[in-house]
Amino acid sequence: MTHAPTPTKPALSKEDRSARIAVTVFPALILASAAFAFFVPSAGQAIAPLTSIFLGVIMFAMGLTLTIPDFALVVRRPLPVLLGIIAQFVIMPLVGLGISVLLQLPPELAVGVILVGCAPGGTSSNVIAYLSRADTALSVTMTSISTLLAPIFTPLLTLWLAGSYLPIAAGDMAMSIVQMVLIPVIGGLVVRLLLGNLVTRILPALPWVSVAGISLVIIAVVSGSTEAIVSAGALVLLAVVLHNGIGYLAGYWLARLLKQGERASRTTSIEVGMQNSGLAATLAASAFSPAAALPGAIFSIWHNLSGAMLAMYYRRSSDTHQSDAR
């Protein structure tokens, strides 16, 4: 009696393996960076003027990972893409405002929380979607489109929702996003088009570029926020955990309510809950104060920890469903 061969899982590409390792050790590196900045703030302040450059490098690396087919889903599957983008720029900004009011946050911290909510999707969401057995292609498209729309929606939403806390220079913020986000992403995409073979060879290193860039942003922001961390760190952490968790839940159940499949719902959950908090922290530090950047810095730490935990939960859920189906 012969037995059918056991199906094997497809081998991971070098880029996939590198991304998986990066997202696994990312939380530890972020925590180490934050601790270093807290205890040696002088070192962090030395690199603080370079935060916008670090963010530009991160976004250029993101652009290098993109290809024109990544945007084809907008045409082939417009509903889940549109749903994810709308959820991104509606749920998280309003939840950020609600949490700020509920916890009665001081103006600078409230602006920081709202700004995190108004940011586009986070770059690490694509790796978390992959590890969660969600729809990675859909995740890449959602992140890309929300990033390209950020120069419009992030300043306008921040002005609308946070303008009562502090004066908001929406035009300056929009220009900063164009310089730090839009131009580097498009630049990376163009380089990928022109030098595709070369870029393909360096793709495995790109997740580590993002890890290094975010770590440096965290060091710069935390080093200037040590007093705020001591006085209000627990309150900001509570705000961040609520913001991130509600984003995951609201994104998932909104997608399910609108008859999206399990993989698309997981993707929407991840895209809504995980923000480009590095952008939020950099904008807050340059436009307001280090204290206003604190929610973005803590969100950068927390959402990678929670994203890794969410990926484990989704993978186990998938394994359970497969076992039940046998």
25, pLDDT greater than 80: no
Helical H runs in 78-169? 78-102, 107-118, 125-131, 136-162
Per-residue confidence (pLDDT) for residue 61, from 0 to 100 = 87
Q: What are the phi and psi torsion angles at 121 (to 5°)?
A: -65, 150
pLDDT in tens, 98-125: 999 999 999 999 999 999 999 998 877 8
The pTM assigned to this predicted structure is 0.85
CA distance 236 to 45: 21
Q: What mean pLDDT, rounded, does the chain reach?
A: 85
Residue 269: closest CA among 302, 318, 319, 306: 306
Pick the CATH number of 15-316 from 1.25.40.10, 3.90.800.10, 3.40.190.10, 1.20.1530.20: 1.20.1530.20
Domain boundaries, the chain: 15-316
HSE of 89, CA atoms in CB hemisphere, 13 A: 23
Tracing tokens 């890449």 back to the chain, one arrives at: 140
Q: Which helix (H) or strand (E) is 170 found in, with range?
A: helix 170-177
Per-residue confidence (pLDDT) for residue 8, from 0 to 100 = 43
Residue 3 binned pLDDT confidence (cut-offs 50, 70, 90) = very low
Residue 212 tokens read as 């290094």
Number of H helices, E strands in the chain: 16, 0
236, pLDDT greater than 50: yes
